Structure 1
Amino acid sequence: MSDRLHFTGTVRDLKHAAICARLRRRHQPWLMRWGVLAALVVYVAVLLGLVILANATDMRLPEWSSYLPFAALMAALIGLFTWRRRHVWESVRNAPVRQAPLHYQLSAEGLRITGEVSESLLRWPAVLEVIEDPEGLLFLTGQMEYIVIPTAAFADAAQMHAARDNCLRWISAAHR
């Protein structure tokens, strides 16, 4: 058997939504996936419980008591969404490829990123736009997809601007 395996393919026809759904089932806690439905079920159960309690005991509940389950539902949903956002960002931020130091090299060939655990080359025809952002130099490969060279990698704003100018020159040369 050889030490190298080679494959050729395209991701054009992949079912990205199905892949994301499988990854959510694999990596997200149950409450993260079903928390809203569980909160709604508890809300309806509490409302029904209040009605049953009022009818079974012949007591008249104050008018404001019907708003308590709704307030609890809203508080639960806000807490759930806050917890979910924090969990998602921590899982992205803690990925090993994001923790290792990276070396960025710009050339006429493209953007080469080398690190302890990864190596990649982004060729200029794949870059739609290069944007200077407060977070760094963004290389857009889609409307919401980007690769970034962080601001801290540059000595100053002038160096970032010069790098962007060079990238734009290389991109225009690649599209000729």
Structure 2
Amino acid sequence: MAKATLERLAADPAIRHIMQKHQFSVGVLTELAPHEQPHLLGLNVNAGQAIKLRIYTDRYDGFRNYKEIRRVLCHELTHNVWGDHDNNFKELNSQLNREVAEYERAAIEGAHSLSGQPSSSGGYSGSPSELEGEAQVHVLGGSGASVSSLQRESPEDRRRRVLEATMNRLRKEEEEIEHSCGTGRTA
């Protein structure tokens, strides 16, 4: 299963798109086993000579979420350009993750694929409304807002709330990834 995950990442149209766009190359994409540097989620060796990603959970009892692993891959690809986790790094990492999301959104809408052929899935099996629903569930669970007030909410307000919740979640995930990165560690 770890090999299949690595192969899926290597063939992921959104990843291939950003690699082509930014002219990234990776010599070896491999697994970082839980017993190897257990505090890390990913490691970029020599600006892309090898990228190691944690695929298994820490206890070897399952696999990490594919999209989380892919975010770590984007983080490690950023180290092909920037070593330290400075503002330049953070800007490019955010750009790569944005480009992956935009590519998938365009693929869902049938706009394009890496080969230029229309695509219907782009690696995502749900619909944009499912993404909104997922974000709403998370916000509703912790907001304390009444159901009736949420029903009166305008579509623009709902989108803004979903965007804020998503951005907060992504910011927290990126902080975790940065904390668990072995490349460009700063004291």
Query: TM-score scaled to structure 2, two decimals?
Result: 0.23
- Which structure has more relative contact order (CA 8 Å, sep 6+)? It is 2
More strand by share: 1
